[in-house]
Amino acid sequence: MGRLFGTDGVRGLANGDLTPELAVSVGIAAARVLSQQAATHRPIAVVGRDPRASGEMLEAAVVAGLTSAGADVVRVGVLPTPALAFLTGRLGGDLGVMLSASHNPMPDNGIKIFASGGHKLPDEVELAIEKIVLDEKHEMWDRPTGAAIGRVRDEESGLSAYAEHLLASVPSRLDGLKLVVDCANGAAAAIAPEVYRRAGAEVVVLGAVPDGLNINDGVGSTHIEGVQKAVVEHGAHLGLAHDGDADRCLAVDAAGNVIDGDQILAICAIALNEAGRLAKSTVVATVMSNIGFHHAMRDHGIEVATTAVGDRYVLEKLRQERLVLGGEQSGHVVFLESATTGDGVLTGLHLLARVAETGKPLAELGSVVVRLPQTLVNVAVRDRVAATKSKPVAEAIRRAEVELGDEGRILLRASGTEQLVRVMVEASTQVIAETVANKVAAVVAETK
């Protein structure tokens, strides 16, 4: 068996790759590793899930694993991933466990583990958990018995506490705004419409009837066309689309045009900078952010700190550099003063507040980012790592950079899961982007 943890926890086909037996093992390993850090007391684990049907099965398995290793469990029910992170800190958890596959289809599920305070696991802790799970002698350990077995209790006030936390962070009221929100038939359904209404917005709701089987099914941030249509039909000022576990947010302006994560991040960065709250006048983004985002930030006197793809890397940079705002093109935005992870509903509130404060339509605010045309070519290779390091490829990239100049860029990335090299080019026109990308892709292909 290879690596257990991916870039965002353990994920796979529920009851296929991700079995109850594996979930039990992950629970046991997490409790054993974290119990070493909670040496003076019995470790406490806060466990939540999104509404997909397999979450019921996997929650039971994880709880069994945790308690069998001597951890007490607080079940907080169906809620967003950022709510679980928040409650892990609020309830004094030594770890938090979220059962969710985010934007993936219903048959998939995942196990996301948070450290105390609701932070992402440090790499060394993740590796320690993984080592125990993958150890063939994993079952040969001294199990607690009697009173040492962990206990389970349900916390029913967690969602309301999270709602109050979100509302306390809103910079201004949303009165007068009409909003369409798509909850992806996921965890956002339990919280997003209520919070937006309590903040003052008039809300039209889509995808808020989860039945365990319909999460992300033609709705949510991966199917934003539903929000685009509804915004126009209802004459709304804007629309928001969340994913299954509500840790991301994409938007739609009044005309039905998509406002992506780069634009949302830019709008929020400018707002915080104008308020004197953007630490070091710097925002964190990944290498996938469009060059138009970088130009917009430069024009507003904001520096951009760039990381590898993945919200965990954004979080690491925020914490290392003591910054407060970062995000991804996909709609993961982290407001570190208010959250320890990407939070879609929090992002939506801040975006709406900016519209309300300025009185400007979302289309005008989003136009600050002039997106350059972008082309992505996937090239199948024998060895993805070797291909990215070959001298002919390096020379092809150098020539491309000269050809693009300041009006574009090229990015070469090895796939994390397949023998593919991804060639991404941004340029002043689509024709130039495609031409340059295909030239470099041809050189990469020759490394086969």
Q: Are strands 238-242 and 178-182 parallel, antiparallel or unpaired?
A: parallel
Asked whether 106 and 50 are in contact (CB, 8 A), the reply is no
Q: What one-character DSSP code corresponds to residue 6?
A: B
Binding-site annotation: residue ranges for Mg(2+): 102, 243, 245, 247
Helix or strand holding residue 77 (H, E): strand 72-78
Angle between helix axes 20-37 and 54-68 (nearest 10 degrees) is 40
Q: How many CA atoms lie within 13 A of 393 on its CB side?
A: 24
Distance CA 286, CA 95 (A): 27
Q: What Å distances lie between residue 235 and 178, 223, 254, 438, CA to CA?
A: 8, 20, 7, 42
Q: Based on the number of CB atoms within 10 Å of its own CB, is 140 exposed (0-12), middle (13-18) or buried (19 or more)?
A: exposed
Q: Are strands 108-115 and 10-13 parallel, antiparallel or unpaired?
A: antiparallel
Distance CA 67, CA 321 (A): 37
Q: How far apart are the first and last CA of the chain?
A: 27
Q: Which residues are catalytic?
A: 102
Helix or strand holding residue 324 (H, E): none
User: Hey, what's the torsion of the CAs at 145, 146, 148, 154, to 10 degrees?
Assistant: 110
Distance CA 82, CA 88 (A): 10
Q: State phi, psi for 385 to the nearest 5 degrees.
A: -70, -45
Q: How many CA atoms lie within 13 A of 250 on its CB side?
A: 25
The torsion region of residue 219 among left (phi > 0), alpha (psi -120 to 50) and beta comes to: beta
